[in-house]
Amino acid sequence: MSESKAMILGSSGPTLTADEVALYKDERPWGFILFARNCIEPAQISDLVASMRDAIGRPDAPVLIDQEGGRVQRIRPPMIERYPSAAVLGELYRQDRDKGLRATWLMSRLHAFDLMKFGINVDCLPVIDVPIEGASNVIGDRAYGFDPKTVAEMGQAAADGLKAGGMLPVIKHMPGHGRGMADSHHELPVVTVSRAELEAHDFLPFVAMKDELMAMSAHIVFTAIDPDEPATISRKVIDEIIRGHIGFDGLLMSDDTSMNALKGTIGERAARIVGGGCDIVLHCNGVMDEMKAVVKETVPLTGDALRRARAVEAAFGAGDGLNEEAIRAEFHGLLAVS
């Protein structure tokens, strides 16, 4: 079978169009990502996930979703209960470290119960950015706290809960989006502090979690490292910081190609993501013309990128067999006393 291409694609709605099926079959994305527009009711979500995998002939292909809790939760009530934000969990941690860590693990374990029922096997969680006062609210309450130690410990608990349930996490947004004074969905944030300050603060949670298998890049410029290009497309940031200083050897995917922090056409952005050293180009919105532009610039997985992708594929598990209702009851008990 032909090798998968180094990309993750979205789709336009709750069912695949004939054009989407044809594109997936011909271009062989490594995985897919779902958003709220794709998630209408339970049976439909399961059918959509299955049809995505059927189109590429890979029954265990990665299917991703951003199911963090708080304001970033793609599948919501009544299908899945509404979960608290990372900031709420972080406040519990500050009151009682053990309870905060346990609640964070439990919530991720519940995400796995919720999502695996649909065949979704990757959650783009945890957010381990460390915000500073005055930064853009694009991270805001998605962060566990304002100090690297809290963020690193909580992030690890979140990742471990997902893995216990048979899912895999994606740590984000490497090497750190916490200082961004702009929302990278709309414009390019520029961070001007020294590399020493970044290493002593922003990068620390990523160093602590460097052995996780997947990470998502940050569309953010660090002038002390590369004044010209955001991390997602910066060969210098990826080689010197992400692969070098942080020591991450997992699969690095871009943040969404269609976010306006990146300049140029969608095809030009995809080409620069590939050229900068990201392993996977992520494109989320399901717009067909944009997806066609992405696939033209994306290459088959080879070399280190293929090795990293294979490590991800080998790591999916069946879960720990715990009782969902017991986990849910324990989680709600912890949150009720916070």
Show the beta-strand stretches assigned E in 117-266. 122-123, 168-169, 171-174, 190-191, 214-217, 221-222, 251-253
Closest-CA residue to 110 (of 316, 317, 313, 319): 319
d(CA 309, CA 78): 34
Whether residue 185 lies in the annotated active site: yes
Catalytic residue among 54, 96, 147, 185: 185
pLDDT above 70 for 337? no
* DSSP-assigned beta bridge partners for residue 282: 8
d(CA 106, CA 331): 6
Residue 159's identity, in one-letter code, is A
Residue 92's identity, in one-letter code, is L
Closest-CA residue to 167 (of 109, 88, 101, 98): 109
pLDDT above 60 for 320? yes
**Start-to-end CA span in the chain (Å):** 52
pLDDT above 70 for 302? yes
Residues of the chain above pLDDT 90, percent = 91
Show the beta-strand stretches assigned E in 187-250. 190-191, 214-217, 221-222
Q: DSSP character for 300?
A: B
Q: What is the pLDDT of residues 159-175, one digit of tens each?
A: 999 999 999 999 999 99
Burial of 318 (0-12, 13-18, 19+ CB in 10 A): exposed
Q: DSSP character for 238?
A: I
Alpha helix ranges (H) inside 165-233: 195-200, 204-208
173 upstream amide cis, omega within 30 of 0: yes
User: Between 1 and 124, where is the model more confident?
Assistant: 124
Catalytic residue among 123, 141, 202, 255: 255
Q: Which residue has the tokens 């709309």?
A: 186
d(CA 180, CA 316): 33
Token code pair at residue 253? 């995917």
- The answer to whether the beta carbons of residues 302 and 3 sit under 8 Å apart is yes
pLDDT above 60 for 304? yes
Helices vs strands, H then E, count in the chain: 12, 13
Q: What is the mean pLDDT of residues 213-220?
A: 96
CA 4, distance to chain mean position in Å, is 20
Among the ranges given (22-31, 97-106, 188-197), the one the predictor scored with the smallest mean pLDDT:
188-197
Q: What is the mean pLDDT of residues 141-145?
A: 95
d(CA 56, CA 132): 43
Rounded (10°) angle between helices 266-276 and 288-297: 30
d(CA 198, CA 202): 5
pLDDT above 60 for 338? no
| Averaged confidence pLDDT in the chain | 95
- The answer to whether the beta carbons of residues 138 and 85 sit under 8 Å apart is no
Q: What is the pLDDT of residue 136?
A: 73
Show the beta-strand stretches assigned E in the chain. 5-9, 29-34, 63-65, 67-69, 72-73, 122-123, 168-169, 171-174, 190-191, 214-217, 221-222, 251-253, 281-283
pLDDT above 80 for 191? yes
* DSSP-assigned beta bridge partners for residue 222: 191
Q: What is the pLDDT of residues 92-112, one digit of tens each?
A: 999 999 999 999 999 999 999
pTM, two decimals, is 0.97
Q: What is the pLDDT of residue 2?
A: 66
Phi, psi of 316 (to 5 degrees): -65, 140
Q: What is the mean pLDDT of residues 189-214?
A: 97
3-state secondary structure of 98: helix
- In this prediction, residue 1 has a pLDDT band, given cuts at 50, 70 and 90, of very low
Q: Are strands 214-217 and 171-174 parallel, antiparallel or unpaired?
A: parallel
> Could you give the domains of the chain?
5-336 (3.20.20.300)
